Amino acid sequence: MRCSLVLVVVFFVADVPAADEAPKASATRDGKKCKFPEKGVAAGVEATTALLETCRDKAAGTADDMKKARDGDHVRLVFAKPVAVMVGDMKLEVSELVLTLPLNTGVFWLRAGDKVIRCTKYRFEKEEDFLAWCYTATRAD
């Protein structure tokens, strides 16, 4: 009986993702750092990638472009394990995503392997879920 209990406990512990594997979400609004509630990050990832996948335009970017995007107002997602997304006809394994704000001029900057990719011209009707999540962020200071 003890052996069965140990196996069940080991099974459940092995099935739970480590905290290090959870996506990290952060933002900067009006020049101030913001944080998201941990329990809502999964929904934020879903809403953000759904918006990203509607982009109709993509181009190559640089590490400097990504840094510049992180220096301004933005939402940033960092994945311990790359996440697969479809942008147009291209499947990308994304380890970092930065969406510049405000949304009316927003650009997605993606880190996929050693490449930086710029994605734009998303469908505005897909913003609703993203915005609902985005405004759950609170000032970090």
Total domains in the chain come to 1
In a domain, 4, yes or no: no
Specify if 74 maps to a domain: yes
In a domain, 130, yes or no: yes
Residue 12 lies in a domain: no
In a domain, 10, yes or no: no
Residue 124 domain-assigned? yes
Q: Please provide the distance, in angstroms rounded to a whole number, between the alpha carbons at the two ends of the chain.
A: 51
Distances (CA, A) of 53 to 61, 98, 117: 18, 14, 13
Q: 19 pLDDT band (50/70/90 cuts)?
A: low
User: In 24-88, which ranges are continuous DSSP H helix?
Assistant: 41-52, 63-71
With cut-offs at 50, 70 and 90, classify the pLDDT of residue 140. Answer: confident
- pLDDT tens-digit map of 23-54: 999 999 999 999 999 999 999 999 999 999 99
Domain coverage including residue 27: 19-139
60 domain-assigned: yes
Q: Does residue 8 lie within any of the structural domains?
A: no
C-beta atoms surrounding 140 within 10 Å: 11
- Give the model's confidence band at 141: pLDDT under 50 very low, under 70 low, under 90 confident, else very high: confident
Q: How far apart are CA 87 and CA 53, in angstroms?
A: 5
